[in-house]
Amino acid sequence: MTEDVSDDIRDFARIQPTEAGPELARFAAALRRLQDLTVASDPDPAVWADSAALLEQVCARLERDPAPAGVAPAGRARNLPGNGHPMLPPWQVSESGPDGVTMRGQFSRVHVGGNDAVHGGVIPLFYDWHFGMVVTAAGRPDSRTAYLHVDYRRITPIDVPLQARAWVERIEGRKLFVRAAMTDADGHVLSEANGLMIKLLPHQP
């Protein structure tokens, strides 16, 4: 299952992880809370309007300091849930090695599809991110998802601690086959996934 990829890795400019400070951690936490409240509130229309004005002021402040991809810390901050990216569920890597990556975290109200169950579309998003972690941990060159298949075994709940492990199944040249499973605190399998990650060629973005 091993393969010498040292030359291939030099062909690509990897996005480097970073450590974020408490300021971004606080901001990301507040933004996640805002997302939850947005789908869990029904205030007077004036409250929506006033709140929108406040958010527009925040956007105006952040627009003063643009940063290109690979420079902005959100999405690269390994010490924050979801790497500090608001689109990603608030999970973090707990174990990482060449053959697999274990993550722990939970979903919240913003991820609900109905009846307090996590939306079926959120689960593939999580696994795609998780598979990317496996690519990096395995020392593979930058890759893209060729396919991702999810089997839903049980309802995935919100606001409870969960665990997911993804591992390398096999390697065939540019192809990295990955499998994963998500479990609850009692060890029940909530979903399973398998996917194919293909190494990018030098001309591919």
Predicted local confidence at residue 105, as pLDDT: 98
Judge whether 82 and 31 are in contact, CB under 8 Å: no
Query: pTM of this prediction?
Result: 0.88
How many Å apart are CA 125 and CA 127, to the nearest integer?
6
Helices (H), the chain: 6-9, 22-38, 45-62, 122-137
Q: Could you tell me if residue 106 is inside a domain? A: yes
**Residue pLDDT tens, the chain, 205 long:** 434 333 333 333 467 889 999 999 999 999 999 999 999 999 999 999 999 999 999 999 999 999 988 899 999 999 999 999 999 999 999 999 998 999 999 999 999 999 999 999 999 999 999 999 999 999 988 899 999 999 999 999 999 999 999 999 999 999 999 999 999 999 999 999 999 999 988 888 7
Predicted confidence at residue 3, as pLDDT, reads 41
Q: Is residue 205 part of a domain?
A: no
Asked, for residue 44, whether it belongs to a domain, the answer is yes
**117 located within any domain:** yes
Half-sphere exposure of 141 (CA within 13 A, CB side): 21
The answer to whether residue 174 sits within a structural domain is: yes
Indicate which CATH number applies to the domain containing 28.
3.10.129.10
Phi, psi for residue 70 in degrees, rounded to 5: 90, -10
Residue range(s) defining the domain that contains residue 117: 6-199
3-state secondary structure of 136: helix
